[in-house]
A and B are shown apart, each in its own frame.
Chain A
């Protein structure tokens, strides 16, 4: 938004005669400072990418691509195949999203369409609290409390892909809930009134009118949820067991340990020598993660852009 200007009442440019010169200078300097602050965000994204590439590009040049995307990750033997890590990340994220999306969307529907005001006033802060719980605390609970339960269910170990997915699903819920709720809220009340007036039940109204109208926002909620889940590090590192193997396609594949891209960086960066091949490969993994989240968020960002524009139009 720029400075308010209505057609009938345009803000007059400050008459230069009345302004002491230092004030005009002050304005100029401030405007430049504020502009720099804004543009610095672009600069930072650029810098992050630049430094990742600077440190990580050698990985793509020095390790043969066939090996880099091979299926064996044994840094001690000089084998840097990141394929098991990619599979681990995808497996944990996909299962987390399959769990979190229905739960998140339905909770948003409850909050936005069904819950009475007093319940909303209790539930929304509770979900904000969930969003505020540090991931390490949830990881800790997963480690001391959830993993033993999973093991009792018959898995050989409690630290499995599924344990990670459960924790991740719970962590991405606040993102999914709050963005879907915004999307539902943005659906004009007239749509609901119209549907109810011609005799539809509340459920028919939600299912056939409100959800389709909010669909672009709901897609965005899911995408940002994915972005949140794939980048999560500490909790996943604590509960997935960190074995860099590719689970075989089988009914029990979820109950085997896996290792994700993020956990690999976090677990191994502390022990490598700066500039070694292992070091550059870990930065290479950083490039892969950056590109994945950049793509997901840029797509979601385009949806956000169209949404905020619409919202402002309504104000």
Chain B
């Protein structure tokens, strides 16, 4: 084979493999949409499940996931953005900083079920929150930290130095510079990172198994010290734990979860592209 033939063959194979990787993504989404769309109606989205969850809706699971996602945001945003500001603006290249970075890489790699164990040990048992929305939000919030720290730090570092130099030269303090000049410029990037992080958290099941999720609740939780239903766990329950579950309800639940998570991802992407166009640098 001449090297031109090798070149053609190689490009052909590479293209073929890329197609093999990408096409199933579309198929997976199409399959969930096609099989699930039939189950979705107003009742499915707004009613309580009845008759062993085989009839009625999945409203408590949807609501639970929304509340847990908000709780996650409350827990992780202050710490994550603070840590990102520290790393991007204050941290020197010393041992402490390297340790912080190592800690973040490792937090990102800890399996989600181990976060579940941690949440069970600390929040549910040691602090006595019980299986509750509070314990679940804290667990998910800690799990989401590394994602939001990394993306926020990137957004802050990307702000050109001239914003800082000018502000400092006008006599502003370091924090005034960060608060009035750097953060507003970095905001779109930070928001994108936060939404992406939350979309991951919203789809997680394993950290909720022993910290927040309930198999079935006849009523909505009234306080954050009560357990809640959640979409991902509900999907797990109705597909593997309940016999004779109508397939349409299973696919319908999967579709609602997928739409919830992907609309967050889409929102993040929109924020990024819109703000990038308006950027002054």
A contacts, CB < 8 Å to B: 1-4, 9, 11-12, 14-15, 18-19, 23, 26-27, 30-31, 33-42, 44-45, 47-48, 51-52, 54-55, 102-104, 106-107, 109-111, 114-115, 123, 125-130, 132-141, 143-145, 170, 173, 177, 201-204, 206-207, 224, 227-228, 230-234, 238, 262, 265-266, 269-270, 274, 282-283, 286, 289-290, 293-294, 296-298, 300-301, 304-305
Contacts and interface: CB of A to CB of B under 8 A. Distances in A.
B117 A127 contact: no
A9 B87 CA distance: 23
A42 B103 contact: yes
Given A52-B114, A133-B258, A14 B121 contact: no
A137 B32 contact: yes
A186 to B, nearest CB: 15
Contact of B83 (A15, A40, A134): A40
A158 to B, nearest CB: 13
Contact of A234 (B6, B82, B102, B205): B205
B242 interface: no
Contact of B109 (A26, A110, A294): A294
A110 B100 contact: no
Interface stretch (B13-21, B41-49, B221-229): B13-21
B261 A133 contact: yes
Contact of A27 (B14, B157, B174, B261): B174
A223 to B, nearest CB: 10
B151 interface: no
A27 B175 CA distance: 6
Interface string B1-44: 00110110011011101101110111011011000000000000
Given A38-B91, A134-B257, 8 more contacts: A14-B173, A38-B87, A42-B99, A144-B239, A201-B4, A231-B113, A232-B111, A266-B113
A3 B89 contact: yes
Interface string B253-277: 0100110011001000100000000
Contacts of A173: 21
A140 B239 contact: yes
Interface in B183-210: 196, 199-200, 202-206, 209-210
A127 B164 CA distance: 36
B14 A266 contact: no
Contact of A293 (B88, B99, B111, B250): B111
Contacts of A23: 173
Contacts of B173: 14, 19, 23, 27
A126 B269 CA distance: 12
A44 B6 contact: no
